[in-house]
Amino acid sequence: MEHLLLDQSDVENRKNSGSLRSVKLSNTIIMEQQNMSTKCSDLNEIDHGQAKPVEEDRRARHRAVQRRYIKRRKAEVKRIKELVQTLENRYCCLEIAAEERDLKLENGELRARIDAVAASVPRVPHVDLIQLLMQNQLELVKEFYEPLTSQELVSIQQKTQVEYEMSRRDNKCQTSGASIMGWTDFRKMDESSVKFMLSKEFPNVQALHLMSVTWDTLSLPATYATFFSPAFPIKTQVLQTFGRDAVVIHRVLFNPHTQSSSNSLELLWRVRLGEEYVIFDSAL
C-alpha cells in the first residue's frame, strides 16, 4: 500500500512538475511571438516609410517621360507643318515655272507666225504705214459694200428733206450768237438729242456757182480732204453714183492723237428747193 501510495504521489508530482514546465514553455512561446509580431510591425512601418518616397520618385519620372514625349510630339508636328509648307511652295514654283515655259513656247510660236506673215507681204519702199493702213481699209470696204437700191435712195432723201423743212419752220431753234469765220449756228435740244444747223452768207456770189463749186469739192476724192485739217490724214473713195446729183462716199480718217482710224459711209446729193440750192450729207 505504501509503495503504491508513493508511486501515486510520484506520478502526481511528476504531473505537477510537467504542467509547470508546459506553462512556462507556453508563456515563453507567446512572448516570442509577441516580440516577432512587434518586430514585423516595425519592419512594415519601416518598409512603408521607405516605399512612399520611391512611389513619388516613380511618379515624377513618369511625368518627366510624359513631358518629354509631348515635347517630341509638338516638335514633330511643327516639323511636319514646315515640311508641308515647303512642299507647297515648291509646287507653286514648279507651276509658275511650267506656266512661264508654256508662255515662252506660245510667244515663240506667235513670233514665228508673225515673221512668216510679214515675210509673205511684199515690202514697198518709202511707203507710209498710215497711208498703207488707210488704203487697206479702203479696199476692204469696197470689196464688201452692198450698193443702195433706188427705193432706198428715195426713202433716205425724202426723210432727210422733210426733217430739213421742219427744222426751218421750227421756231424753237436757238442760236448761241457766236460767229466763227462767218458761220452761225441754230440748234434745237430734244429730250435725248441735239439738232443743229450752220449757215453762212456769201455776198456777191451767185448761188448756182457756189453750189457747183461746193459739190465738186465734196464729191471728188481728190478735193474732199481740203475740208479737213492737214493734221488729220484722210482718204476717200466713191463707192456708188446716182447720175450727177448723188454719190455714196467712203471716208477713212486717221487720228494721230489716238493712233486710230475711223470709217464712215456718206450719201451726198444736191437738190433745188424753191429758190435754194441745198447739198445734203447723210451718214449711212
**So where are the chain's domains?**
1-122, 131-169+201-283
Residues 168-195: tens digit of each pLDDT: 777 777 777 777 778 887 777 777 777 7
Residue 213 contacts residue 279 (beta carbons within 8 Å): no
- Residue 7 CA, chain-centre distance (Å), reads 135
Residues 56-95: tens digit of each pLDDT: 888 888 888 888 889 888 888 888 998 888 888 888 888 8
Nearest-angstrom CA–CA distance, 130 and 267: 26
Least confident of 54-68, 122-136, 139-153: 122-136
Give whole-number Cα distances, 232 to 79, 184, 253, in Å. 70, 25, 7
Q: Give which of 218, 252, 278 is closest to 226, Cα–Cα.
A: 218
pLDDT range class, residue 23, cuts 50, 70, 90: very low
Residue 186 contacts residue 199 (beta carbons within 8 Å): yes
Nearest-angstrom CA–CA distance, 101 and 104: 5
Half-sphere exposure of residue 190, counting CA atoms within 13 Å on the CB side?
Answer: 7
Mean pLDDT of 255-283: 87
Q: Phi and psi at residue 7, in whole multiples of 5°? A: -65, -40
Is the pLDDT at 7 greater than 80? The verdict is no
Residue 194 bridge partners (DSSP): 189
Is the pLDDT at 126 greater than 60? The verdict is no
For residue 19, the model assigns a pLDDT of 45
C-beta pairs of 268-272 under 8 Å, 24+ apart in sequence: 268/215, 268/218, 268/219, 269/157, 269/242, 269/245, 270/211, 270/215, 270/245, 270/246, 271/157, 271/161, 271/245
Q: Is 282 helix (H, G, I), strand (E, B) or coil?
A: strand
Q: Give which of 240, 236, 280, 282 is closest to 261, Cα–Cα.
A: 236
Least confident of 105-119, 166-180, 263-277: 166-180
Nearest-angstrom CA–CA distance, 151 and 138: 26
